[in-house]
Amino acid sequence: LDTRCAHKIFPQLSIPTHSTQNNYNYPSPSYSTIMVNVPSMCLASAIFFTIASSMIESVESSSLLRRQLCEQRYEEKTDVFKRFDDGWYWGKIVNFNSESCKYMILYEDNYAYEYEDGEELDQMIADAVNPEQLVPLDTMVYKLYEDGWWQGYVESYDPEERLYTVRYKGDDATEEFYEGDEEFYEILDNAVPPQIYPLGVEIYKEFGEGWSLGWITEYNEEDNTYEVTF
């Protein structure tokens, strides 16, 4: 605030209440009397000074609050686990931006994405710490090999590796699939009701002249029936 304006608005800071020079007495001006005679420019300067001070305090308070809200809760190299449209992917936190409050995560396929500190990130980290088994044991699967369709089931699950073991009936062979593997979900879909047997499954039927080989060529959802061609 300009010193000259300050003297006019706050006379007690500069105007004496009594002077011994020439033995004259000067009356002490009141605050209200002086304010009436304050130039408009000085009054505007005072108002601007007050508003500017409030704005500075507000900005400082907002900056302090943002710094508190942007505190880094998760360390770098923290594991995350997230499901995308094509499956589940592991990743790690590689950077935290204190200005935007966002974490940079690098996934196993070398793609990197930014996430705000919130519920989504919390869930991704929780999934990495305590992986959820998404497919129950004994779930049926169907897979097509060179020698035809084979039926199997989910025999076991390793939560640390997010790894499913599928055992096929007939030759008792096993196969392992990681959570998120597209092929794993494909063989699961092959066995989803109501169409339990996928098209192309080979079957054998005994007729009067002996056994004949056939395969499923059509499925009718309305009456849940299969058409078999021999």
Q: What is the DSSP secondary structure assignment for residue 113, as one 8-state letter?
A: E
pTM higher than the cut 0.75? no
Question: Residue 156: pLDDT above 90?
Answer: yes
Residue range 160-175, pLDDT digits in tens: 788 899 999 877 899 9
pLDDT tens for each residue of 85-135: 777 788 999 999 988 999 999 999 999 999 999 999 998 998 887 767 788
Residues in CB range of 29: below 8 A, 6 or more apart: 11, 15
Provide the pLDDT for residue 195. 65
How many CB atoms sit inside 10 A of residue 105's CB?
A: 22
What contacts 123, CB < 8 A, 6 or more positions away? none
pLDDT of residue 49: 59
The residue-averaged pLDDT of 58-77 equals 69
What is the C-alpha separation between 150 and 128, in angstroms, rounded?
33
